[in-house]
Chains A and B, each alone.
Chain A
Amino acid sequence: MTNTILEAKNLTKKFGDIKAVDSISFAIDKGEVFGIVGPNGAGKTTTIKILTTLLPPTSGEAFAGGYNVVKFPSKVRRIIGYVPQLLSADGTLSGYENLLMFAKLYDIPKKEREKRISESLHFMGLEASADKLVKSYSGGMIRRLEIAQSVLHRPAILFLDEPTIGLDPVAREAVWEYVKVIAQHGTTVLMTTHYLEEADAMCSRIAIMIRGRIAAIDSPLNLKLSVGDKNISLNKVFESYIDKSIDSEESGNYKDVSRTRRTAKRLG
């Protein structure tokens, strides 16, 4: 009897000849906050898309809550929550409506619905703006709303793809706090980020992903110890792995950059 809730086995995704994800394996325990860090174009988003059933892998297997994500996608979809990197709240609806629509789509019973919505509006500090259109929200508010939306149905696993991209430091730390509380209540979190201090602050374990491969996987402390001592920053650790595996600058292709900038612009 293991405690594994999310598992990847030799997961590979090719786009044409390019291996976006190259035979990665990991197992995440119930209750962990697991981070995948890496430069743009490392394959982080592709990995999340496979695990959330949006993208079929070229080879390898993945299991969420014990269900194979390719064979039982609808079982998987029921137990996961997902906040995409891109802006996913609907700007032309109010915050309340964004939550209400998802509550209905996830079959949350009518009696329970209003209670959960007002709870999460309160928890995320969005009560005052609940009836305003989301396009009038700040970037931090939108992210909070999106996270609230993704946990309305109490998922067992929450996927956060670059949850703080484009946010200012204050809004970023607010997001960290909310995610920590969500994790404390038993939801397993898998997040990607390229902010190393974010991974350091939040994650129980980190996978460093470079060019579709996992270069290292351990707790932030152990990763630091493996390179030097516990007082160095995770940046140094990251740099050492980057040096090992990369001969030129690695920062994603044009498409990645333009997408990241676009998201940052919308949220900022």
Chain B
Amino acid sequence: MYQELDALPKDLAEKTNLIAGFLSFFRKTLVITELEVRKLRHDPTELFTRAIQPALWMLVFGEVFSRVRAIPTGNFGYLDFMAPGILAQSVLFVAIFYGIGIIWERDLGIVHKFLASPVPRAALVLGKALSAGIRALSQGIIIYILSLLLGVHISFAPLSILGIILVIIISAALFSTLSLIIACIVKTRERFMGIGQVITMPLFFASNAIYPVAIMPDWLKVIAHINPLTYQVDALRSLMLIGGTSMYGLTFDISILIISLFILIVIGAKIYPNVAR
């Protein structure tokens, strides 16, 4: 039977201790991530349907452009050059439409209950972002398989693999939080889809994903340099390929990604409660 309703639980989160607060924050974040991963486990079909687009890019675009040899890619063949770019792209595509789910949850009313709970807003946002990172890891596996089949020179050094996982999670978290922010502003699916399409193209093409920044006109170079995708691709390229090097330095790339993620989480936490209004 229903018992001891009036016996309030020990208020664990009352701890004023900063470290305890920090731990509690991360625990809640991970619960939100767990929740999303459980959903995915009940219905993993989307992971497979998402394999189609990167496969088409590598097989059609990649194969054609590696024959044209129109793009200067240094010591690498075009497919080698492109594979990390397509990995970054598919992570971007998984993450950038994440906001649809936010709007869906808003229409259902799920968001309201989370926002009326004591879970910190930033933990809600970061937890969701990390789950987008885990979703995006499946893209990594698909690209690795495709790359192997196409003869891309992939590095399987354990540290490289770890680095790749880290970069995928951080960048998926980053772009999914950007998506969440957009969703919180536009609030309807139709408007969101429009904006999602509009920002995906420039993010992708104003980056070094499928051609080096060096061949861009100057104004586009500027955009490419403030585009986090550029640093994601740069990091992936240096980690994924045998003999791969980074243009900007791996530490710099990852720092840029983490700082961008942090800023977006702060904005996201601020704006997320708006969806319930």
Contact = CB atoms under 8 A, between A and B. Distances in A.
B13 A107 contact: yes
Nearest to A31: B6
A187 B5 contact: yes
A54 B6 CA distance: 25
A63 to B, nearest CB: 16
Contact of B112 (A82, A105, A119): A82
Contacts of A5: none
Nearest to A46: B277
B5 to A, nearest CB: 3
A101 B5 contact: no
B2 interface: yes
A115 to B, nearest CB: 10
Contacts of B43: 92
B43 to A, nearest CB: 6
B118 A78 contact: yes
B31 A104 contact: yes
A77 B116 CA distance: 6
A154 B31 contact: no
A80 to B, nearest CB: 7
- Could you say which of B34, B108, B114, B276 has the most chain A C-beta atoms within 10 Å of its C-beta? B108
Interface residues of A, number: 52
Given A90-B110, A92-B43, A104-B31, A154 B115 contact: no
B27 to A, nearest CB: 8
B116 A80 contact: yes
A47 interface: no
A256 B112 CA distance: 17
B273 A77 contact: no
A122 B38 CA distance: 23
Given A52-B116, A54-B112, A87-B109, A154 B2 contact: no
Contacts of A52: 116
B187 to A, nearest CB: 13
Contact of B7 (A53, A105, A107, A154): A154
A117 B117 CA distance: 18
A221 interface: no
Interface string A151-162: 101101001000
5 closest Cβ pairs, A-B complex: A86-B109, A185-B5, A186-B6, A82-B116, A84-B112
Interface of A: 49, 52-55, 74, 77-80, 82-94, 97, 101-102, 104-109, 112, 119-120, 122-123, 133, 149-151, 153-154, 156, 159, 181-182, 185-187, 263, 266
Given A86-B109, A107-B12, 10 more contacts: A52-B116, A54-B273, A80-B116, A82-B112, A82-B113, A87-B109, A93-B42, A107-B24, A123-B1, A182-B5
